Structure 1
Amino acid sequence: MPASPTVMFLMVVVLLLPGLIYSFQPIFSSKGDTVTHRHITERAVLRKTAEVCRDIAASEGRDFSLTIDDNLSAEEVQTACSRSSSSSALSTIVFRTSIATMYFSNALVDVVSALSEVHHFDDETFQGGRDVITRGVSAVKDNVRLENFVAGRSALGEIFHTLQDFYSHSNWVELGKNSPYSSLIRPDQPLENLADQSTPTCRNCEGNNCTDNILPELLQQGLLTSGYFNILTSSKPTGKCSHGGSFDKTSKQEPTGGINKDTIGSSHGSLHHKAADLAMDATVELLEDIRLAVGEKNFLRLMGLSQSSVLCFVIDTTGSMADDIAEAKRVSFEIIEKKRGTEQEPSAYILVPFNDPDFGPVIMTTDADIFKGNIDELTARGGGDNPEMSLSGLQLALTAAPSYSEVFVFTDAPAKDAHLKSTIIALIESTKSVVTFMLTDVTASRRRRRSAQGVMPRVINQLDTQLYRDLAQISGGQSIEVTKLDLSQATSVIEDSLASAVVTVFQVVKNIGGPEEFTFTVDDTLRNMTAYITGAPLLTFNITSSTGVSQVHTETSGPLASITAVGNLRRLSLNTINQTGLWKISVDSTSPYSVKVTGQSSVNLIFNLVERHEGAHGDFSLKEGRPLSGGNMSLLVTVTGSDTVKLTEVTLFDSSESTVVNGSLQPMGSGNFLVTFSDVPAGDYTVRLRGEDSSSTSRTVPNTFQRQASTGIKTSSISVLAQVTTTNVEPGSNVSIPFTITITTNGVVSNSSNGILTVRVNNDRNFDSTSPSSVTIAADSEGTANGTVTLMVPAAAASGTVVTLTITAENASTGDINFTVLRFAVSSKVTDVTRPECQEVTPSTICPSSLLFCSSSEWNFTTNLTDGINGTGIESVSIRQGNGTLNTSTVAGSGGENVTVATYSASCCSPTVELIVVDGVGNVRVCVGQARQSTTPTTPVPVTTAIVSTTSNGGNTCSMSHFFWFSISISLLWK
């Protein structure tokens, strides 16, 4: 159903007030001492990740020397968590990107749910706010269960926002609380001491001083309240506190003022830092709950703690692809076996098969053997008509893989689904993933000759190949064209891309041939540098080092490089030892070509388009889609790998470098820089940065470096804005997404523009949807047109599934496009909110107090674990602390429920056990068993056997035999 007029009006209000941010500031702070959602999220994630790594190291008997506090950096945590100290190029780009995903999703709540009181704990909506957190936590655990870690990070960021806002918007801090309100993440615990609707909570502020505006009797009674907020009306219940601030109309009605602690300049700004500290502690507490539910290994994957990227193959499985599939198997198996068990092992494996008319499903796993089994089962069969569903397969890969992934597409056929080109472009630019096409048997014409057996062979001609070349160019990848016999010589680029800490130093695509000279800087941190030149067979080149040494393309093994040529690819393994500085590559070709130079280095860049919000908290949020031609552009650039890096220059340049736009730099801390560009002309641009690294002690001057983003930026005169009110959808529901398309001139809406724009809507789950195929911008519509997409979510959609919806608008007369990419999480209603129960069933006995005898004594602990009749059942039981043996079995309870009997045995030298019990939806209980020690010295006595028979849970009898040197006492402690 389309949005109601009231809802549409509220959406318009939000759009007209982009400064409407009434929480901790999302990303940046206009005042240096103010703590933002980004700060809170980064600190919490780094702290909890470090704690998990410390605990893993302790269990494995390894040292962990990092001091865990609130000043950790991603580089410090990644280094401390590394099992090897020999990695000279430690990459933190995956970790930093994962953290950015969380804080950008956090900031998105202020846009998507700006007027939702429950998402901000406004208007005393404590139960509603906790429900938001409960649903979100359940969704994250479902995501992890499906190994959908990317979606899990996005969902986490949204939960963080609501949880963190509680400490700024409520009076928890004013009540003198010094620890988080744990009931917010434990829905089976009551929310107590809530001020009811009729209880006054505030009095007028004295002028601008709101320090003591909360009623003393409310604080004395320990009642919990939060401020009311409304941008449309001043109405609020009698005597209630307001949020406060210039946008809050309720703060003008008595009692005046507010109680928020969003910034140091807020109504209760003197408590801002205490609120931020509690918000961080609460975020850590929530992360601990998720860690216990999903396990330490999956928790670190969820945080993105990895030096390696994913191995992602999209493979054509039609009959002519047998050789290609065999080569994909060979290279993937070789990579797996070479990197298995090392920190360079791919963080995940993604496989998407396609043919015609089928494509998919996405096979995604973190288990190398499962991936090997899946790729080993691929069989080339069928065929006939030439085109295949290559872009549909690529779409699935791009939505499944994390941002900044490398995707490899194997095919020998043109795309049958070329209409998806704009969708693929949108996904590439949104995820900044690099796509390389491994194309076999490309011909110069469309003609096909039958074989002697009368079978029509498949061919892909130059015109069909251009689509793949275009997509590769946009992503920063390559279109590699070889024969099937030579494919094995070209797949070395796959191994190159999966090396640790690969960075792009220089890249250019020349769509018109001709001689040209390119320069790039080699710095001290770079090693194992490789250059790739793709183009027609007659292409020539030479390379010159910073010391003046040269090598021509005919020298396959020279002083500067070892050169391998196969198909249209020339791979140069560079020798840069003792030759830092400015290098040159001169290329001459009558046809289009590309040049790409990579290396391994810890110093890399991440960039995200952001847009400014003016108003009370003037801040930035992540921008989807392309920036507007002729307007201003802002980037959040993160430099990874060194605390000693100084960024000196960020530029945008087009392929001819005839247009160069210099950015204005503003350091934002933690390696982040806000880079702003003014009046960016229409065109395609690449982001290049230069800087200095003073980490080298052997240099008297700083080491200069350059890096280049693989994915480019293209401007557009079209704006596509979707008005999303929720990112969570239930199975069996319909979701309506109103959208607005405008035509702009020099970055602003062109009121006189008119025309018909083509609209394309696609989603990666093939869910049914309805949408207009075009919109008309009339002369009197002020350059704007509206439409609505309705997405139908099947009732059978699994909770934890994520659907990526892409809306693109195209001006057919100019070829100009823009887009927005929306991601919705399928989340079933949470019905099981109760944690599992533990019930002790063993008698009390005692361990000897003297450690001299502990090794000859044993203690046993048996507990019944239940999740109730209506629960989802016990899913896992694991040892968190203890060096004993755990066995489990299942019996039926008196009420028909399943009872998991957990039996733990250990030496008295290990007198404590903590069991982590998780039910089917991720509710967690920690059961602690502890052997009591005798108070008098003891000596060993002969083994005795005790038969324990205990009735529990309504008469089900559990009978066990125990062997003791001495009697043991067990006490059960519940957390």
Structure 2
Amino acid sequence: MLTEAVFEAPKAAKVMDSLAAVAVFLLLGTLFQPPQAAAFKPLHSDGSLTHREITQIAILRKTAEACRDIAVDQGREFTLPINNKLTVASVRAACSNSYAALSTLSFTLAVALIYRSNAAVDYVYLLTDSPHVDNEAFIEARDIITRGLAAVKASMKQENYNSARVRLGALFHTLQDFYSHSNWVELGFTIPLRNMTRSDLPLNNLAGPKTPTCKSCNGDDCSDNILPEILQQKILTTGYFNLFSFSKPTGKCSHGGIFDMTSRREPTGGINKDTISSQHGFLHNRAANLAINATMEVLEDIRLATNNTAFLRLMGLSQTSVMAFVIDTTASMSDDIAEAKRVSFSIIDSRKGTSEEPSEYILVAFNDPGFGPLIRTENADIFKEKMNSLTASGGGDAPEMCLSGLLLALAGAPPSSNIFVFTDAAAKDSELKSTIEALIESTKSTVNFMLTHSTSFRKRRSVSERQSSSSRAMSQSEIQLYRDLAHASGGQAIEVTKVTLPQATKIIPDTSTSALVTVFQVVRNPAKAENFSFVLDESLSNVTVYVTGDSPVFTLYSPTGVSQSVSEGNGALGSTQNAGNWWRLQISVNQTGQWRISINATSFYTLKVFGQSSVDFLFNFVEYDGNRGDFIPKDSRPLTGGNATLFLSLTGGATVTEVLLVNASGSGAVNGTITAVAGTEYLVTFDRIPEGAFLVQLNGLLIASSMSTRFQRQSPTQQRSSRIIIMSQTQSLIEPGVPFSFNFTVNSTTTAGNYTIRARTNRGFKLSFSGSLSLGIFGSAQGSVTVTAPSNTEFGTDVTLTIEAQAPGGTDFNFVTQSFIVSAASVETSRWYSVSFSMCLSLMALFVSCLYD
């Protein structure tokens, strides 16, 4: 799809005139279906099992086993669906009897992250043989698997479950490729080779570098091209693969397929079992089933090395809600700290032992110049102890390191977390705003600011209170930074006095709950009078309306026409409470259908409607080629005005009828074309991406409803588009004390000039990079960021690197966020990838340069 669109460009002929462009054409043709992607393709339509299906089947089976064992230990019954069909929803439902704190959404997110990390290996390691077990790279492939497995266990020990999922998916790809790319199945083996996951066991009977292994295929028939003596002597081999060269050792088997140049050289043909239609596709199902069993063995290894509870955390099944606090500890914050303790301890004590008990606690303190460390624990008593140890001291020069503390929390919390920031001072590190925005978009987390002693409310306080706080009072521009970040995340910037803070902290129990969904939200700045409608469905409970702004006036209307205004504390539709610039209306009327609210304010306002429901959705923008059935999640902003594809997963008994990209300013929406992929997963294509900020809105029907009940959901976090394209390599391993270079490329689609480059890690690791790149109109430039982890960094530490590119004049910026894990093991494979990725970027840059020169 991309190649067709690109080569319709007016200057495509000039590109094709050069030999380099031929390489570019081959590379572009494989970016969305790389040669190795044929290995159990992420998506396939001919009945073949895919990497995604192999991974998900193994995860669901092993997760069901863990839940069954817990049920047996607890003397509970464990029942799978009558048809024994395992899905994310059916396993979660079966596990709910044996493990109280479960979330379909977090389970879906965890499984999706694992299999998407699996699929990403095809793109990350384009030209490297060992991750795909090609070219008889058995030892190197086993090193990848065993190092990855050690990294997973180390990350779990540090409760870095997202990093563990990323590493798990990557090692699964190599493990599964072994059964498709080697001759293990042809040798007649019916059980997995445990030696591929155990570095203490020998890999015996490997083909020597000069041992012939194949003969040419007889026409299209490659069923017997492996030499008889190889089969008789049980000698292990793989196919050779090369995208650019016919070269391979004499007598060796080839991988095979249209992109494998070696398969044209004697001996011709291939031995891969990637799909039913592959040259050894008659063995595809046997290879896929062995890959499933091998994947389950690795999962069992992890489960035995940890415990059932940790294993379910890895799968996202024991995660309900996360309580995450970022707290200013300067001298004036004693009252705020006391209130944060009160409300958090109240939640912990009231929900202990229930399905609403938080599954994880996060605390980051900041002051000036210090901030952190990130404290993350599953133990409520440890969290209480850390909260009790907070003391208010220091400060003096008002601005504090607020965004640095928030950066740690965003990078360390699970995706889609609610984070609460307590401060009464401006941010001293406001230069981190773009990085915070990038992490909000990539993690889809919500940030709520509890701002005390702000300028807006200075006039409402007593003389003594104003005098004691005047040195820390924030200006409107300083408050606006917090508002902007809150609005981008779908959160609130609540401006109160210290006296009224306890009323405002009701937001914490409201939003620190499981199965929280956003029905509707808008931001209006500047304000204008407007009427909004939204749909409430029968799956929703605890529906709440938030309005934040300068003196907002609003009236809520039910589907039957009953109304309640802001001035009514307890009215016909619910109860209203106010603290500072924040209004909370808890709806008590259980009416489904279309509700309406009219609202206005003096300068700005936000509106958010949310509740609890099992019906929700996850989404990622992906690069997708419909012709070849492959996709990979994007880790940066989509291109303004360009077309795009959204991968969407729906939870709960519902079906999708409409997916919209709604402009955050209210100036319109773009409707997508929906294609069902499998079960409750969809691909949604858009012919253009709105300019600026937008929200993803989903409309559909409840399946379990007695009637065709409509439902509506919206993404809480805003997404943004950009006219800058930035690409970088994805997650990897790095060694303590050893510099590692991440390569990236920046392409401009409009503005020429010097682009500002910024790079940061959440761990404060030493970075080296050029602060600018020069680009012409439709130009491209390459850069690199060298990261050095301190030599004493603990094995398994997860690190988030954000690379940003800003257009001249600050008119636009884009970013990529990458995660990697600090490993004590060799990272030779990652270094091989660095070379491969550099080649990829060079070819892409050459292509863009030729196209627009």
- TM-score, scaled to structure 1: 0.80
Q: What is the CA–CA distance in structure 1 between the aligned matches of 2:454 and 2:61, rounded to whole Å? A: 52
Tell me the alpha carbon deviations over residues 297-333 of structure 1, each in whole angstroms, 9 at most, x when there is no partner.
1111111113512111111111111111111111111
Q: RCO (CA 8 Å, sep 6+): is it higher in 1 or 2?
A: 2
Q: Secondary structure at the match of 1:127?
A: helix
Give the aligned partner of residue 757 of structure 1.
755
Give the aligned partner of residue 232 of structure 2.
220
Partner amino acid for 1:709? Answer: S
Tell me the alpha carbon deviations over residues 602-646 of structure 1, each in whole angstroms, 9 at most, x when there is no partner.
00010111112588x44110111100011111111110122xx21
Give the aligned partner of residue 579 of structure 2.
566
2:553 matches 1:540: yes
Give the aligned partner of residue 808 of structure 1.
804
Tell me the alpha carbon deviations over residues 708-737 of structure 1, each in whole angstroms, 9 at most, x when there is no partner.
01112211000111245x601111111112
2:267 matches 1:258: no
Partner amino acid for 1:705? Answer: F
Tell me how far 1:84 sits from its aligned partner.
7.4
Q: What is the CA–CA distance in structure 2 between the aligned matches of 1:762 and 1:521, rounded to whole Å? A: 41
Q: What is the CA–CA distance in structure 2 between the aligned matches of 1:456 and 1:499, rounded to whole Å? A: 36
Give the aligned partner of residue 551 of structure 1.
564
The answer on whether the counterparts of 1:51 and 1:68 sit within 8 Å (CA) in structure 2 is no
Tell me the alpha carbon deviations over residues 323-356 of structure 1, each in whole angstroms, 9 at most, x when there is no partner.
1111111111111111222232212111010011
Going from structure 1 to structure 2, the CA distance change for 1:279 and 1:68 (only over 3 Å counts) comes to: farther
Tell me the alpha carbon deviations over residues 113-138 of structure 1, each in whole angstroms, 9 at most, x when there is no partner.
12221111111111111111110111
2:645 matches 1:634: yes
Partner amino acid for 2:663? Answer: D
The answer on whether the counterparts of 1:433 and 1:711 sit within 8 Å (CA) in structure 2 is yes
Q: Secondary structure at the match of 2:805?
A: strand
Q: What is the CA–CA distance in structure 2 between the aligned matches of 1:407 and 1:12, rounded to whole Å? A: 45
The answer on whether the counterparts of 2:42 and 2:119 sit within 8 Å (CA) in structure 1 is no
* Equivalent of residue 130 in structure 1, options 120, 130, 142: 142
Give the aligned partner of residue 794 of structure 2.
798
Q: What is the CA–CA distance in structure 1 between the aligned matches of 2:458 and 2:515, rounded to whole Å? A: 41
Give the aligned partner of residue 699 of structure 2.
690
Give the aligned partner of residue 887 of structure 1.
none
Going from structure 1 to structure 2, the CA distance change for 1:10 and 1:101 (only over 3 Å counts) comes to: farther
2:527 matches 1:513: yes
Give the aligned partner of residue 289 of structure 2.
277
* Equivalent of residue 105 in structure 2, options 93, 96, 104: 93
2:68 matches 1:54: yes
Going from structure 1 to structure 2, the CA distance change for 1:445 and 1:808 (only over 3 Å counts) comes to: farther
Q: What is the CA–CA distance in structure 2 between the aligned matches of 1:325 and 1:383, rounded to whole Å? A: 15
Partner amino acid for 1:692? Answer: L
Going from structure 1 to structure 2, the CA distance change for 1:595 and 1:217 (only over 3 Å counts) comes to: same
Higher strand share: 1
Give the aligned partner of residue 788 of structure 1.
784
Tell me how far 1:67 sits from its aligned partner.
5.5
Q: Secondary structure at the match of 2:684?
A: strand
Partner amino acid for 2:762? Answer: D
State, as a whole percentage, how many aligned pairs show the same letter.
51
Q: What is the CA–CA distance in structure 2 between the aligned matches of 1:636 and 1:385, rounded to whole Å? A: 47
Tell me how far 1:181 sits from its aligned partner.
1.1
Q: What is the CA–CA distance in structure 1 between the aligned matches of 2:234 and 2:344, rounded to whole Å? A: 61
Give the aligned partner of residue 844 of structure 2.
none
Tell me how far 1:525 sits from its aligned partner.
0.7
Give the aligned partner of residue 842 of structure 2.
none
Tell me how far 1:443 sits from its aligned partner.
0.8
Give the aligned partner of residue 304 of structure 1.
316
Tell me the alpha carbon deviations over residues 140-169 of structure 1, each in whole angstroms, 9 at most, x when there is no partner.
111111111111111111111111111111
- TM-score, scaled to structure 2: 0.91
Give the aligned partner of residue 686 of structure 2.
677
Going from structure 1 to structure 2, the CA distance change for 1:798 and 1:191 (only over 3 Å counts) comes to: same
Tell me the alpha carbon deviations over residues 815-842 of structure 1, each in whole angstroms, 9 at most, x when there is no partner.
21100111111011289xxxxxxxxxxx
Give the aligned partner of residue 745 of structure 2.
740
Give the aligned partner of residue 711 of structure 2.
705
The answer on whether the counterparts of 1:450 and 1:456 sit within 8 Å (CA) in structure 2 is no
Give the aligned partner of residue 847 of structure 1.
none
Rg larger in structure: 1
The answer on whether the counterparts of 1:446 and 1:460 sit within 8 Å (CA) in structure 2 is no
Q: What is the CA–CA distance in structure 2 between the aligned matches of 1:455 and 1:85, rounded to whole Å? A: 49
Tell me how far 1:549 sits from its aligned partner.
1.2
The answer on whether the counterparts of 2:535 and 2:592 sit within 8 Å (CA) in structure 1 is yes
Q: What is the CA–CA distance in structure 1 between the aligned matches of 2:633 and 2:458, rounded to whole Å? A: 44
The answer on whether the counterparts of 1:451 and 1:457 sit within 8 Å (CA) in structure 2 is no
Q: What is the CA–CA distance in structure 2 between the aligned matches of 1:446 and 1:774, rounded to whole Å? A: 42
Partner amino acid for 2:59? Answer: V
* Equivalent of residue 600 in structure 1, options 600, 612, 623: 612
Tell me how far 1:179 sits from its aligned partner.
1.5
The answer on whether the counterparts of 1:319 and 1:381 sit within 8 Å (CA) in structure 2 is yes
Give the aligned partner of residue 485 of structure 2.
471
Going from structure 1 to structure 2, the CA distance change for 1:11 and 1:314 (only over 3 Å counts) comes to: farther
Q: What is the CA–CA distance in structure 2 between the aligned matches of 1:715 and 1:431, rounded to whole Å? A: 16
Q: What is the CA–CA distance in structure 2 between the aligned matches of 1:570 and 1:762, rounded to whole Å? A: 37
Tell me the alpha carbon deviations over residues 519-554 of structure 1, each in whole angstroms, 9 at most, x when there is no partner.
0101111111011011112x1111111112111111
2:636 matches 1:625: yes
Moved more, 20-29 or 596-605: 20-29
Q: Secondary structure at the match of 1:161?
A: helix
Going from structure 1 to structure 2, the CA distance change for 1:523 and 1:361 (only over 3 Å counts) comes to: same
Give the aligned partner of residue 770 of structure 1.
768
* Equivalent of residue 193 in structure 1, options 205, 211, 219: 205
Tell me the alpha carbon deviations over residues 346-378 of structure 1, each in whole angstroms, 9 at most, x when there is no partner.
121110100110010000111111111001100
Q: What is the CA–CA distance in structure 2 between the aligned matches of 1:34 and 1:419, rounded to whole Å? A: 50
The answer on whether the counterparts of 1:613 and 1:621 sit within 8 Å (CA) in structure 2 is no
Tell me the alpha carbon deviations over residues 784-803 of structure 1, each in whole angstroms, 9 at most, x when there is no partner.
12222111122111100111
Give the aligned partner of residue 3 of structure 2.
none
2:77 matches 1:63: yes
Tell me how far 1:196 sits from its aligned partner.
1.8
Can you give the 5+ residue segments of structure 1 that lack an aligned partner in the other structure?
1-8, 746-752, 832-975
Correspondence list, 1:577-596, <5 A: 577=590, 579-596=591-608
Tell me how far 1:456 sits from its aligned partner.
6.0
Higher helix share: 2
Q: What is the CA–CA distance in structure 2 between the aligned matches of 1:75 and 1:709, rounded to whole Å? A: 21
Q: What is the CA–CA distance in structure 1 between the aligned matches of 2:558 and 2:607, rounded to whole Å? A: 16
Moved more, 397-406 or 784-793: 784-793
Number of residue-to-residue matches in the alignment: 803
Q: Secondary structure at the match of 1:460?
A: coil
Q: What is the CA–CA distance in structure 2 between the aligned matches of 1:188 and 1:289, rounded to whole Å? A: 15
Going from structure 1 to structure 2, the CA distance change for 1:546 and 1:114 (only over 3 Å counts) comes to: same
Going from structure 1 to structure 2, the CA distance change for 1:455 and 1:548 (only over 3 Å counts) comes to: closer
The answer on whether the counterparts of 2:35 and 2:243 sit within 8 Å (CA) in structure 1 is no
Going from structure 1 to structure 2, the CA distance change for 1:11 and 1:362 (only over 3 Å counts) comes to: farther
Q: What is the CA–CA distance in structure 2 between the aligned matches of 1:45 and 1:450, rounded to whole Å? A: 61
Going from structure 1 to structure 2, the CA distance change for 1:454 and 1:403 (only over 3 Å counts) comes to: closer
Give the aligned partner of residue 502 of structure 1.
516
Q: What is the CA–CA distance in structure 2 between the aligned matches of 1:621 and 1:416, rounded to whole Å? A: 38
For the aligned residues, what is the CA RMSD? 2.4
The answer on whether the counterparts of 2:313 and 2:319 sit within 8 Å (CA) in structure 1 is no
Tell me the alpha carbon deviations over residues 274-318 of structure 1, each in whole angstroms, 9 at most, x when there is no partner.
211111111110000011111111111111113512111111111
Correspondence list, 1:790-869, <5 A: 790-813=786-809, 815-829=811-825
Partner amino acid for 1:536? Answer: D
The answer on whether the counterparts of 1:450 and 1:457 sit within 8 Å (CA) in structure 2 is no
Can you give the 5+ residue segments of structure 2 that lack an aligned partner in the other structure?
1-21, 828-853
Q: What is the CA–CA distance in structure 2 between the aligned matches of 1:655 and 1:317, rounded to whole Å? A: 35
Q: What is the CA–CA distance in structure 1 between the aligned matches of 2:239 and 2:124, rounded to whole Å? A: 20
Going from structure 1 to structure 2, the CA distance change for 1:787 and 1:270 (only over 3 Å counts) comes to: same
Q: What is the CA–CA distance in structure 2 between the aligned matches of 1:298 and 1:352, rounded to whole Å? A: 23
Q: What is the CA–CA distance in structure 1 between the aligned matches of 2:425 and 2:625, rounded to whole Å? A: 46
The answer on whether the counterparts of 1:91 and 1:641 sit within 8 Å (CA) in structure 2 is no
The answer on whether the counterparts of 1:652 and 1:688 sit within 8 Å (CA) in structure 2 is yes
